Amino acid sequence: MDHAGPHPFTVFMIEPDPLYLAQYNEIIESNLDVVITRTASQFDQPYQELDSFIPQIMITELNIKGKLQLSNIAKLRVDFPESQIIVISTISDIDLIVSLMKLGVRDFIQKNESMPSKLKSAIQEMQNEIIQHKHVQVFGKNIFNPDFFPLVMYKLSTQGIEYFHHDFSDFPEPLGTPLDDFLQTIGISVLVAIGQGHSYSEGCFNLPAANSKRYSTLLFSFKADDPDAIDPRMRKGYFVFNLFMPKILASHFPNPKEMEEYIPEFKSYFPNYNSMTPDRLSKFKHQLLSNISLMKNQQQI
């Protein structure tokens, strides 16, 4: 299931100076993947221009035709409560800026040489928040649904690290490489990241997922018996339970150090390689995500 994709961003700009308007447009279009913009030169235009167009981001000048636009900005705040408002102006009076913040303006940027970089940063920050909000809406309230977290299992062997189980046939994102190559690359990077000489760490880690743009890896590494290993040294086996985690949901998870408390549960539920059947792995994945959800909820109380 492919939950991600280009999101059209709607931006409305009120700016009487066409040179500044062109500069804002350039910054916006170079930092948002898909953007729909509308413009006005003064405050008597917005309601005619907007019609059914609901802007996610509004950029406005504070001083138009020599008049401060506090009352008009307050009206925008009321009429478009979901819009994020950025005010840009040559005025730098601190009391005025405080008044704008009290009205609910998201950001104030002064018109000077640092304006382009500050506007770019503000736009990127808002973009990330809007994407996260949309993804949470798409994923629904149950963001810990196991279907959102593809699983692959790795084990250490005489050939290095190899995967022996995954619960998906197609990765939920175009990769540009065969699935087998992608999973092998993940395995090697995991081994490099958590291996220490000839010993390997047990724990929980959040690592990049090779060339994936939408997922990172949430992995739990643990030791368990591998009685059928050809090499006697491998009979105390090393295993990695690797969940692909949508990056947009990462902030909803506890930090990896806190999730290490689940390692004993892995070792208890999977005492040996033969116990790691597809059915048991699926049940444990469901239970693990349920426990992580409870842990996160308790932290928020």
Tokens standing for 271?
A: 């005492």
Query: 200 φ, ψ to 5°?
Result: -130, 140
Distance between CA atoms of residues 142 and 63, nearest Å:
46
- Name the one residue in this structure whose structure tokens are 């066409």: 18
Average model confidence (pLDDT) for the chain?
83
| pLDDT of 182 above 60 | yes
Distance between CA atoms of residues 117 and 121, nearest Å:
6
Domain of residue 178: give its range: 146-300
Question: Which percentage of the chain shows pLDDT scores above 70?
Answer: 86
- Do 56 and 176 fall within a single domain? no
Task: Provide mean pLDDT across the span 69-80.
Answer: 84
**Per-residue model confidence (pLDDT) at position 176:** 84
**Per-residue model confidence (pLDDT) at position 16:** 87
- Decide if 242 is inside a domain: yes
Structure confidence by residue, pLDDT tens digits, 232-290 = 777 888 999 999 998 878 878 888 889 999 999 999 999 999 999 999 999 999 999 99
**Per-residue model confidence (pLDDT) at position 5:** 39
* CATH code of the domain in which 29 resides: 3.40.50.2300
Task: Provide mean pLDDT across the span 149-172.
Answer: 91
Question: Which percentage of the chain shows pLDDT scores above 90?
Answer: 27
- Do 87 and 191 fall within a single domain? no
Domain end, chosen from 81, 112, 139, is at: 139
| pLDDT of 66 above 80 | no
- Do 125 and 205 fall within a single domain? no
Domain end, chosen from 139, 163, 183, is at: 139
- pLDDT class for 31, splitting at 50, 70, 90? confident
**Per-residue model confidence (pLDDT) at position 236:** 84
**Per-residue model confidence (pLDDT) at position 6:** 44
- Do 197 and 123 fall within a single domain? no
Q: What is the DSSP letter of 272?
A: B
- Decide if 3 is inside a domain: no
- Do 291 and 153 fall within a single domain? yes
| pLDDT of 158 above 50 | yes
- Do 296 and 152 fall within a single domain? yes
Domain end, chosen from 100, 122, 139, is at: 139
- Do 62 and 203 fall within a single domain? no
How far, CA to CA in Å, does 1 sit from each of 115, 117, 183, 213?
40, 37, 18, 15
Task: Provide mean pLDDT across the span 115-133.
Answer: 79
- Do 227 and 86 fall within a single domain? no
**Per-residue model confidence (pLDDT) at position 1:** 32
Q: What is the DSSP letter of 59?
A: E
- Do 106 and 135 fall within a single domain? yes
**Per-residue model confidence (pLDDT) at position 2:** 34
- Count of domains in the chain? 2
- Do 283 and 155 fall within a single domain? yes
- pLDDT class for 191, splitting at 50, 70, 90? confident
Question: Helix or strand or coil: residue 213?
Answer: coil
